[in-house]
Every structure is written in structure tokens, then in C-alpha cells.
Structure 1
Amino acid sequence: MPAHGKVLATKAVLRHTFLMPSHVSLTINQISAAQTLALRQAVLWPEHPIEASKVEGDETALHFGGFLGGDLICVASLFQDGGQDGGGVRLRKFATDPAHQGKGFGSDMLVYLVAQAREAGASDFWFDARETALGFYERHGFTTKGERFFKKGLPYWRMSLALG
């Protein structure tokens, strides 16, 4: 299998702990798609049924959870999804509990996910970002591509980061 396929070819348990300046640690573990749904819905689509938080390919994607103590406070999913050379990794359904936003936990998760994709040989890391989150992603080196578009009435931009 090509190196870029390793991102989604493994189902090994991955774990990483980030120490926050306040000595609070975020532990990142691989989790199931089902474990992501409640937080996805609560943060991203609270006015829609939980089924709206499911996406095609969830069964083959890698899903990650950020835990503070025993509480799941952040989720994200990585999908093997194209790019110019077929080595792209797509981030989808990235959500952090609003009570924990602005504390660096989402940044820790994003840095971890980009590192995982890079280690696996992915050439491109991309996603569709809500317009309200552009500044967050730009601080991490992502740039917009194309024109603004809408999903369920909300403005989005395609963003990406070359990993090669």
C-alpha cells in the first residue's frame, strides 16, 4: 500500500497526551464513529437530528477523541480523500465542547492530526471550514482555496495545508 494510504489503513490504538500550561492534560485516543456523534451534533448541528452528524465513509475513517479527565471534549475524523496526487487526508466533523473552546484543546487536536497525516505520508490535509473558524485555521498555516459556499445555510471555505 502506498505510504499515503497508511493514514486510514491502520486501526491501531493511538494515544497522545498534551500538557497544557495550567498542567491540565488533553489525552487523544482513537475512538469509534459512534462515540463522536453526540459531541458532533451538540456542537455542529444542534438543531438537526443526530443522523445529520453522520457522514458517508464514517465506517472506514479514523476517529479521534480528546479527553479531559474522563470527559470527551473534542472529536475529529480523518478520511482518505484525494488531493492532486491521491494522497490527501480530509478532516471532517471537528468539534470541541463550547465550555472548553479557547483553551488550546482544539489546537492540540489539530496539531496532532496534522502530525499523524504527515507521518503516514499524506501530501495534503484539507477540509471545509465554517467562515467563523477561518482565523483559527489560518493561525495553524491553512489557506483558503476557491470561493465561499454554503452548507445548510452556513458559509464555508475550503482550506488546505501542503504536507510534502
Structure 2
Amino acid sequence: MLKIRTVRHGSPEYWETIQLRRRILRTPLGLDFDPEDLEKEVRDLHIAGFDLARLVGCLVLTPENAEDIKMRQVAVDDQIQGKGIGTELVIFSERLARDRGYKRMVLSARDTAVPFYERLKYAKEGDEFEEVTVPHWRMVKEL
């Protein structure tokens, strides 16, 4: 059974999310994390999904301003993608953001992830752009 919760920056669970994010999002592109960028994540909300004690998915919420919060670094273990874990993480995160007073969720979706976010009622905003060497779209959803 999937249990989703926030994890504290710097905690053992946080470092587990870094390993998952690295494996799913960075290593395939020949990239790694900059330690300075990870230090900045202290101000972010870190969401993690666990199946029993095993981390299976995670994402990061970064406040942009009083109304907008950015969802980023969404990663689900590649052995179990397609089982609804990403959807549950996003729904949990939307509820958390709404409860904290945010009005809009914004994100930069890889071109391949756009259909996933469209199913969750996110809309493209603007033109395609390149980020971390791959095509992305800015997407938004009113909370």
C-alpha cells in the first residue's frame, strides 16, 4: 500500500529521494546534481511515496511566489511506472499546495511526460523550450 508523506531536507529519506531522482532523471542524460543546488532545496517541500518501507516515487515543490508553486523532479521507480504512483504523488502535492494557500501549480514537463500531465488537467503555456538537454513545456493548473 502506497503511503505518501513529506520528508525533511537532509534526512535519510531525503537522501533516498536524491538517489531515485539521480537514477531516473539525471544519469540517463549524463548529468548529476550540483551540491549547491541540493543545499538550496532546504526551502522546498519534499514529497515521497513508500510501499512498505521502500521508496517508490518522489517529487519536489518549490515556492515561486505567494500564489504559484512549482512541481519538479517527479520520479517513479522505473520497475513500477504505470501503476498510478505518479498520479497519487501529484494529487497529494496539489492538496498540500492548496492547503498552504497556493493558487496555481506550475511545472516544466519533459515532452514525453506532457500526456501524463494533460490527463491530470494541466495545460501547456507558451512554447516548447530546452532544459537539461531535452524538450520541455511549461504547464499550469489552477488549484
TM-score normalised by the shorter chain: which range applies?
0.7 to 0.9
From 17, 20, 34, give the equivalent of 1:39. Answer: 20
Which structure 2 segments of 5+ residues have no match?
none
Question: Does 1:119 find its partner at 2:99?
Answer: yes
Question: Does 1:63 find its partner at 2:46?
Answer: yes
Partner of 2:61: 78
Q: Which has the higher helix share?
A: 2
SS for the counterpart of 1:39 is helix
Partner of 2:112: 132
Whose radius of gyration is greater, 1 or 2?
1
Partner of 1:90: 70
Partner of 1:13: none
TM superposition outliers: structure 1 runs of 4+ over 3 Å: 54-57
The sequence identity of aligned pairs, in percent, is 29
Tell me the distance in 2 between the aligned counterparts of 1:104 and 1:95.
Answer: 12
RMSD of aligned alpha carbons:
1.8
1:143–1:161 Cα contact (<8 Å) kept? yes
TM-score by structure 1 length? 0.77
The alpha-carbon deviation at position 113 of structure 1 amounts to 0.4
1:39-76 CA-partner distances (Å, limit 9, x unpaired)? 11100011223438x45730111101100111111011
Partner of 2:6: 30
Tell me the distance in 1 between the aligned counterparts of 2:33 and 2:100.
Answer: 31
The alpha-carbon deviation at position 125 of structure 1 amounts to 0.5
The alpha-carbon deviation at position 30 of structure 1 amounts to 1.3
Which structure 1 segments of 5+ residues have no match?
1-24
Partner of 1:144: 124
Tell me the distance in 2 between the aligned counterparts of 1:31 and 1:103.
Answer: 22
The alpha-carbon deviation at position 137 of structure 1 amounts to 0.2
1:91–1:127 Cα contact (<8 Å) kept? yes
